[in-house]
Structure 1
Amino acid sequence: MKTLNTLLVDDELSAIEGLKLRLERVDGIHIIDMVTSVDEAIECVKNDLPDLIFLDIQMPGKSGFDLLKQFQPEQHPAIVFVTAFHQYAVRAFEVEAVDYLLKPVRQARLNEAIERVRARRPDPLYKQQLLTASDALDGSPGAGSSSSSSYRVESEKLIITDGRNSGQFVPFNEIVWVDAAGDYMCIHTHNETYVMRARLKHLVENILPPEFVRIHKSTAVNIRYIKHIEALRNSEYSIELTNEKTLKVSRTYSASLKSHLFSAVEK
């Protein structure tokens, strides 16, 4: 049985301690950390990607969905939501096949959730399912920002709107990397992540400037923000960005990335 490296994220100390005690009764679970905010969780997963995250939805400052935006779809950990919002979360997560636990967590239900995690096969569409669930919760407590934002382009900026705000202005030169999950696109700057409906191919080929290069079928980076590149097996690479985020470069795109990097150095 593979040991599941597990992260607990909940702003309620009593809830996180109770979950820890129940998880200690389950074989094959190794708790790597317990944090009480999304910002702490983001720091935790930068260099130590867990296999499983137990994640609260409603937390001060940022919702649990803000953490989900940080992962490349192909490297997305399994997520078990922990929530008190039965009337909203259960309906949305059942439709999207996302597991959840209602507070207070029962041992039998926890064991069932872990069995489902072990049976789950890696799927790049998993992130899209989670973002769709976020859409289903839009406007409910703990929902966070809408994932169905639209955008337009003006003067080397993306202007992202969600129907409730006047718009977020995101200059191209502040975008560090972008990743896609189906029809959804996560736009990452050093400090924020924005979600909008778009296709990566169209964005890279028609909207963003040439310094944005594909490194995976679902990911592109701004090469100006690459700090370090390391060779892995099978002609794959790992890159570290200036915000300390580590991303995987697939074999298909490694030659193209190296070519762009050499061209940038020559200039």
Structure 2
Amino acid sequence: MLTALIIDDEAPSREELKALLAEAPDVEVVGECANAIEGLSAIHRLRPDVVFLDIQMPRVSGLEMVGMIEPSALPHIVFVTAYDEHALKAFEEHAADYLLKPIDPKRLAKTLDWLRSGARPSAKAFPGSTDSLRQIPCIGRNRIFLLGLDEVEFVHTDVCGVQVVATNKLGITELTLKILQERTPLMRCHRQYLINIDHIAEIELLENGAADIVTHSGKRVPVSRRHLREIKRQTAYCLRVCENIKNPW
């Protein structure tokens, strides 16, 4: 049995694909999502075998969403799109498949045969999926939203997941610290923390060789001894000209 997740911002497109997949006795649609942020959460929660993913979605595209998934959690991706067929040839090099809208049932049948064959998802990045992230998709109380990187003070992990902390906002993201470190300017300052150096007001040196960062809004972020030297190097100029530094070096 193949488990499938449909991610598309257009409800009629989701319904059409769901109806076509219902005709396959060995395919179970375990969920559907209307945007990439919901889709990220559903992929991690449901662990589907295959995701039928629209490329052209508002705010976070399908390609951007794929780049936000840890490779170890990446399912098969079948792109569902109105793109010209010739523009999608590059995906074939990445062991990916695609369906053009409106979906041809015979073409879908070939895709399902390919999935049944046991082909493995590609470890290579999809074209356009490794660009730097400009926003972090977050989940808050009864809402989903995007936080621009310039708003983010720091990110850290706790028992609730990966917390994204802005001056006046707080959200939880499905992105890992590893993905955020690789795809954004956020810097590692501790095993559980990434910091936006533009929000650093002070670095307070501690007796044990570690330190605390104080952000412009007054929040405190730990810095481990392992990462302190690089944080100092990256922030040396801006902190030297601040008048309120307590521990200049």
Task: Give per-residue Cα distances to partners, 1:228-267, cap 9 Å, x unaligned.
Answer: xxxxxxxxxxxxxxxxxxxxxxxxxxxxxxxxxxxxxxxx
Match of 1:90 among 88, 91, 103: 88
Contact 1:83 1:89 survives alignment (8 Å): no
Question: Does the CA-based 8 Å contact 2:51-2:77 persist in structure 1?
Answer: yes
TM-score, length-scaled by structure 1: 0.51
Give, in angstroms, the shift of residue 52 of structure 1: 0.9
Matched AA of 1:54: F
CA distance in 2 between partners of 1:87 and 1:176 (Å): 41
* Structure 1 gaps, min length 5: 136-146, 151-166, 178-186, 200-206, 213-221, 224-267
CA distance in 1, matches of 2:69, 2:174: 14
Among candidates 155, 173, 177, match of residue 174 of structure 1: 155
Deviation per residue, 1:123-176 (Å, 9 max, x gap): 5xx24332xx226xxxxxxxxxxx2449xxxxxxxxxxxxxxxx9559794155
Contact 2:80 2:98 in 1 (8 A): yes
Shift of the 127–57 alpha-carbon distance from structure 1 to 2, 3 Å rule, reads farther
Change (3 A) 1:35 1:171: closer
Deviation at 1:21, TM superposition (A): 1.2
* Residue of 108, 113, 128 corresponding to 1:134: 128
Partner of 2:191: 211
Percent identical across equivalent pairs? 28
Q: CA deviation at 1:70?
A: 4.1
Taking a change above 3 Å as real, the CA distance of residues 209 and 197 of structure 1, as seen in their structure-2 partners, is: closer
Please tell me whether the aligned partners of residues 69 and 193 of structure 1 are also in contact (alpha carbons under 8 angstroms): no
Measured after TM superposition, the shift of residue 119 of structure 1 is 2.2
Give the aligned partner of residue 49 of structure 1.
Answer: 47
Going from structure 1 to structure 2, the CA distance change for 1:14 and 1:108 (only over 3 Å counts) comes to same
In structure 2, the partner of 1:250 is none
Task: Identify if the C-alpha distance between structure 1 residues 73 and 30 changes in structure 2 by more than 3 Å, giving closer, same or farther.
Answer: same
Indicate conservation of the 8 Å contact 2:64/2:128, yes or no. Answer: no
1:60-89 Cα shifts (integer Å, max 9, x gaps)? 221112332343312311110001011564
Amino acid paired to 1:174: V
Provide closer, same or farther for how the CA distance between residues 91 and 211 of structure 1 changes in structure 2, counting only shifts above 3 A: same
Q: The residue matched to 1:129 in structure 2 has which SS? A: coil
Aligned-residue RMSD, C-alpha = 3.7
Residue range with higher mean Cα deviation, 111-120 or 168-177: 168-177
Cα distance, 1:51–1:91 mapped onto 2, change above 3 Å? same
SS of residue paired to 1:134:
coil
Query: Given the alignment of the two structures, is residue 64 of structure 1 paired with residue 62 of structure 2, yes or no?
Result: yes
Q: Pick closer, same or farther for the CA change 1:102–1:117 going to 2, 3 Å.
A: same
1:75–1:168 Cα change, 3 Å: closer
- The one-letter code sitting in structure 2 at the alignment partner of 1:208 is R
Structure 2: which amino acid aligns with 1:209?
Answer: C
Q: How many residues align?
A: 166
2:38 corresponds to which of 31, 37, 40: 40
Q: CA separation of 1:114/1:198 partners in 2, compared to 1, >3 Å: closer, same or farther?
A: same
Partner residue of 1:7? 5
Listed one character per residue, the Cα deviations across residues 25-77 of structure 1 (whole Å, up to 9, x for unaligned) are: 11210011122211222232332211111000001221112332343312311
**C-alpha separation in 1, matches of 2:31 and 2:174:** 23
Normalised to the residue count of structure 2, the TM-score between the two structures is 0.54
Separation in structure 2 between the aligned mates of residue 40 and residue 196 of structure 1, nearest angstrom: 18
